[in-house]
């Protein structure tokens, strides 16, 4: 099977490798899954009626943790066998669970969680961009990837809901499967290889595949350590929130599928807008203040989700959440100002590793917190009114708000302003030198 995939990956693509190729892949992949946003909520409630939030968190959490563990290995293998082969494999496994939704609900969720082992196309996509984009254009290209991800959610959930209303869930799954098949076909025949054979790695070491290597290196520099702790403090609840909010609004707050898909689309548009204007915001108030602004917005929206009982409060929380998506790009912008050009790769790699860890732990943690706080749904508690009377505070969101508050205090107290950080670039250069020496020993 692997030899067949290698042979297929040798097919030359269309034109020279470019960022545009990978943007199409990212858009089609998340558009297919965006179509299933509303059907998945209905299927979750049908399959796990007594533990909906718990199972949603566990499915998303297991997938995220497996992706975190396997991403370095996939990236290292792409250095050896080329980007196109690993991109083809990861796109296939990312899309593999979709058709199972019409066959067996339990196995759909089981395969969805396990697909995280090989369904990590984003790591290969970032490597592809690094191959084809000049250094001065990489930040912009990564921003375009994030905007493309958000753009796929502008119409996909609403379109999936419309198709479900008119023709049923099976038709939505069919359309999503066709989009996924189109994506696999595009990778196979249109995406050219970006990594020439002459610059590929010749071997694989355990250190390259160890997902904790980058994180463990954090302890060697206190400034990087603070940045990574801050990233962990706001991304953990953010990942948990994103995995649970659609089901929470539908099953607990009484949103219908039309309202929910409209809110998701509006949030995506706001997110695109705020990220496109990030450069202007950073120039106006500074990178550190942009991080503080993003954390304050995230704190506000988590608090609204925690204590709100009316739909307008949920709409406000969703809009604030979209604006709060500025935080992670603002951290990346701060790092670009805080470090010299040669050190950024090492530090950004550590922050990305922390992000992957949160994407696994966050959903699982929120699912468990929903379960422990007795907020999972059961047939005798399905009445929206009874749920509102029983609930005073949604514990998972309040936990997240406290977590973000700690991160906000850390930024305010320990993260220096840009003007104070310039003198610390030498410390990052020393960290980079240490990492390079370790890698050189490893290659030897």
Question: Where in the chain are the domains?
Answer: 19-190, 212-444
pLDDT of residue 45: 81
How much helix, strand and coil, in percent to the nearest 5, is found in the chain? 85, 0, 15
Cβ(150)–Cβ(275) under 8 Å? Answer: yes
Distance CA 299, CA 301 (A): 6
Looking at domain 19-190, its CATH architecture is: Up-down Bundle (1.20)
pLDDT of residue 437: 47
Residue-by-residue pLDDT tens, the chain, 444 positions: 656 766 666 677 788 888 889 999 989 998 998 898 888 888 888 888 777 778 888 888 888 788 777 777 777 788 788 888 888 888 888 888 898 888 888 888 888 888 777 777 777 887 788 788 776 676 567 667 777 877 787 788 888 888 988 898 899 999 999 999 999 999 989 988 888 777 676 666 666 667 776 666 655 667 667 877 888 888 889 888 887 888 888 878 888 878 888 888 888 888 777 777 776 777 788 778 888 998 999 999 999 998 888 888 889 988 888 888 778 777 776 766 665 444 444 555 566 667 777 877 888 888 888 888 766 544 444 444 444 434 456 788 999 999 999 999 998 888 877 655 544 444 444 444 444 445 444 444
From residue 35, alpha-carbon distances to 29, 136, 206, 264 in Å are: 10, 35, 38, 12
Asked, colleague to colleague, whether 19-190 and 212-444 share their fold, the answer is: yes
pLDDT of residue 419: 58
pLDDT of residue 441: 44
Neighbouring residues of 68: CB distance < 8 A, sequence distance ≥ 6: 211, 353, 356, 357, 359, 360
Distance CA 287, CA 332 (A): 9
Cβ(242)–Cβ(409) under 8 Å? Answer: no
pLDDT tens digit sequence for 39-93: 888 888 888 877 777 888 888 888 878 877 777 777 778 878 888 888 888 888 8
From residue 253, alpha-carbon distances to 143, 248, 315 in Å are: 33, 7, 11
For residue 398, how many other CB atoms are within 10 A of its CB?
18
* Helix spans in 373-424 (H): 384-390, 395-414, 418-421
CA-based radius of gyration for the chain: 22
Identify the CATH assignment for 212-444 out of 1.20.1250.20, 1.10.3720.10, 3.90.320.10, 1.10.1040.10: 1.20.1250.20
Q: Could you tell me the two tokens for 444? A: 């030897």
**141: nearest Cα among 230, 17, 281, 46:** 17
- Angle of helix 105-114 relative to helix 52-81, nearest 10 degrees, comes to 40
Cβ(223)–Cβ(428) under 8 Å? Answer: yes
Judged by DSSP in three states, 180 sits in helix
pLDDT of residue 5: 65
**391: nearest Cα among 361, 409, 370:** 370
| Count, residues in the chain | 444
Cβ(343)–Cβ(425) under 8 Å? Answer: yes
């Amino acid at each position: 099977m692997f030899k067949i995939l290698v042979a297929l990956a040798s097919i030359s693509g269309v034109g020279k490798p470019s960022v545009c190729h990978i943007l199409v892949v990212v858009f089609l992949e998340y558009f297919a899954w965006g179509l299933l946003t509303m059907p998945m909520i209905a299927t979750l409630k049908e399959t796990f009626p007594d533990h909906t939030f718990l199972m949603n968190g566990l499915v998303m959490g297991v997938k995220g943790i497996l992706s975190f563990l396997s991403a370095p290995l996939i990236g290292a293998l792409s250095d050896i066998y080329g980007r196109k082969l690993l991109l083809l494999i990861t796109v296939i496994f990312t899309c593999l669970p979709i058709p199972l939704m019409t066959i067996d609900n339990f196995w759909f969720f089981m395969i969805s969680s396990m697909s995280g082992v090989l369904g990590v196309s984003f790591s290969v996509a970032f490597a592809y961009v690094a191959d084809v984009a000049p250094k001065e254009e990489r930040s912009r290209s990564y921003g375009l990837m994030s905007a493309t991800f958000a753009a796929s959610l502008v119409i996909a959930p609403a379109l999936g809901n419309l198709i479900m209303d008119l023709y049923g869930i099976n038709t939505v799954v069919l359309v999503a499967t066709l989009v996924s098949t189109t994506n696999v076909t595009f990778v196979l025949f249109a995406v050219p290889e970006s990594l020439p054979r002459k610059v590929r790695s010749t071997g694989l070491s355990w250190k390259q595949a160890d997902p904790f290597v980058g994180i463990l290196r954090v302890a060697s520099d206190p400034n990087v350590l603070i940045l990574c702790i801050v990233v962990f403090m706001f991304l953990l609840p953010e990942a948990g929130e994103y995995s649970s909010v659609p089901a929470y609004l539908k099953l607990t707050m009484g949103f219908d599928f039309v309202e929910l898909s409209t809110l998701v689309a509006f949030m995506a548009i706001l997110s695109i807008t705020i990220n496109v204007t990030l450069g202007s915001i950073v120039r106006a108030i500074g990178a550190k203040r942009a991080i503080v602004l993003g954390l304050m917005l995230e704190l506000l929206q988590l608090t609204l989700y925690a204590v709100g009982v009316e739909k307008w409060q949920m709409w406000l929380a969703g809009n604030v959440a979209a604006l709060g998506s500025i935080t992670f790009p603002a951290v990346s912008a701060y790092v670009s100002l805080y470090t010299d050009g040669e050190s950024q790769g090492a530090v950004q790699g550590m922050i990305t590793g922390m992000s992957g860890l949160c994407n696994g732990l966050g959903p699982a943690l929120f699912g468990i917190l929903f379960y422990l706080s007795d907020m999972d749904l059961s047939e005798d508690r399905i009445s929206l009114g009874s749920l509102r009377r029983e609930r005073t505070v949604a514990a998972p969101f309040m936990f997240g708000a406290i977590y973000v508050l700690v991160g906000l205090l850390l930024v305010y107290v320990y993260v220096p302003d840009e003007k104070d950080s310039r003198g610390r670039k030498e410390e990052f250069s020393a960290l980079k030198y240490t990492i390079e020496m370790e890698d050189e020993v490893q290659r030897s």
